[in-house]
Amino acid sequence: MKKNMGYTDKIIRLLAAFIILFLIWFGQITDPTWQIIALVVALVFAATSFFEVCPLYSILGICTRKECKQEK
Protein backbone atom coordinates (compact mmCIF):
# COMPACT_ATOMS: atom_id res chain seq x y z
CA MET A 1 0.00 0.00 0.00
CA LYS A 2 1.07 3.54 -0.65
CA LYS A 3 2.15 5.53 2.41
CA ASN A 4 -0.40 8.21 3.24
CA MET A 5 0.46 9.39 6.75
CA GLY A 6 2.62 12.40 7.56
CA TYR A 7 5.05 12.90 10.43
CA THR A 8 2.68 14.94 12.63
CA ASP A 9 -0.08 12.39 12.14
CA LYS A 10 2.29 9.58 13.17
CA ILE A 11 3.35 11.40 16.34
CA ILE A 12 -0.25 12.16 17.36
CA ARG A 13 -1.25 8.51 16.88
CA LEU A 14 1.76 7.23 18.82
CA LEU A 15 1.04 9.63 21.68
CA ALA A 16 -2.60 8.54 21.73
CA ALA A 17 -1.52 4.88 21.83
CA PHE A 18 0.87 5.52 24.73
CA ILE A 19 -1.77 7.49 26.63
CA ILE A 20 -4.29 4.66 26.20
CA LEU A 21 -1.73 2.08 27.34
CA PHE A 22 -0.81 4.32 30.29
CA LEU A 23 -4.48 4.52 31.33
CA ILE A 24 -4.84 0.74 31.15
CA TRP A 25 -1.57 0.09 33.00
CA PHE A 26 -2.38 2.41 35.91
CA GLY A 27 -5.94 1.18 36.34
CA GLN A 28 -7.88 4.14 35.03
CA ILE A 29 -9.79 1.85 32.68
CA THR A 30 -11.06 -0.88 34.98
CA ASP A 31 -13.75 -2.73 33.03
CA PRO A 32 -12.19 -5.71 31.20
CA THR A 33 -14.32 -5.13 28.10
CA TRP A 34 -13.19 -1.50 27.82
CA GLN A 35 -9.61 -2.54 28.48
CA ILE A 36 -9.70 -4.89 25.49
CA ILE A 37 -11.33 -2.26 23.28
CA ALA A 38 -8.79 0.36 24.37
CA LEU A 39 -5.91 -2.06 23.79
CA VAL A 40 -7.12 -2.84 20.27
CA VAL A 41 -7.43 0.89 19.50
CA ALA A 42 -3.91 1.52 20.85
CA LEU A 43 -2.50 -1.34 18.77
CA VAL A 44 -4.21 -0.04 15.62
CA PHE A 45 -2.82 3.46 16.25
CA ALA A 46 0.67 2.06 16.80
CA ALA A 47 0.53 -0.22 13.74
CA THR A 48 -0.72 2.50 11.40
CA SER A 49 2.00 4.83 12.71
CA PHE A 50 4.69 2.21 12.22
CA PHE A 51 3.66 1.35 8.65
CA GLU A 52 2.69 4.96 7.79
CA VAL A 53 -0.49 3.68 6.15
CA CYS A 54 -4.05 4.32 7.29
CA PRO A 55 -6.64 2.17 5.49
CA LEU A 56 -9.39 4.68 6.28
CA TYR A 57 -7.31 7.45 4.68
CA SER A 58 -6.94 5.27 1.58
CA ILE A 59 -10.69 4.77 1.33
CA LEU A 60 -11.39 8.48 1.79
CA GLY A 61 -8.53 9.60 -0.45
CA ILE A 62 -6.74 11.52 2.32
CA CYS A 63 -2.98 11.94 2.40
CA THR A 64 -1.13 13.95 5.07
CA ARG A 65 2.38 13.42 3.68
CA LYS A 66 4.23 16.39 2.21
CA GLU A 67 4.97 14.40 -0.94
CA CYS A 68 1.24 13.97 -1.64
CA LYS A 69 0.59 17.69 -1.28
CA GLN A 70 3.42 18.54 -3.66
CA GLU A 71 2.02 16.24 -6.38
CA LYS A 72 -1.26 18.19 -6.60
Alpha helices by DSSP H, listed for the chain, are 7-25, 32-51, 55-60, 66-71
> What is the predicted pLDDT for the residue at 68?
82
Rounded to whole angstroms, the Cα distance separating 62 from 55 reads 10
Residue pLDDT, tens place only, 20-58:
999 999 999 999 999 999 999 999 999 999 999 999 999
Domain-by-domain residue ranges, the chain? 7-71
> What is the predicted pLDDT for the residue at 72?
58
DSSP state of 52: T
Q: What is the mean pLDDT of residues 6-19?
A: 96
**pLDDT for 16 beyond 90:** yes
pTM of this structure:
0.85
**pLDDT for 69 beyond 80:** no
Rounded to whole angstroms, the Cα distance separating 18 from 65 reads 23
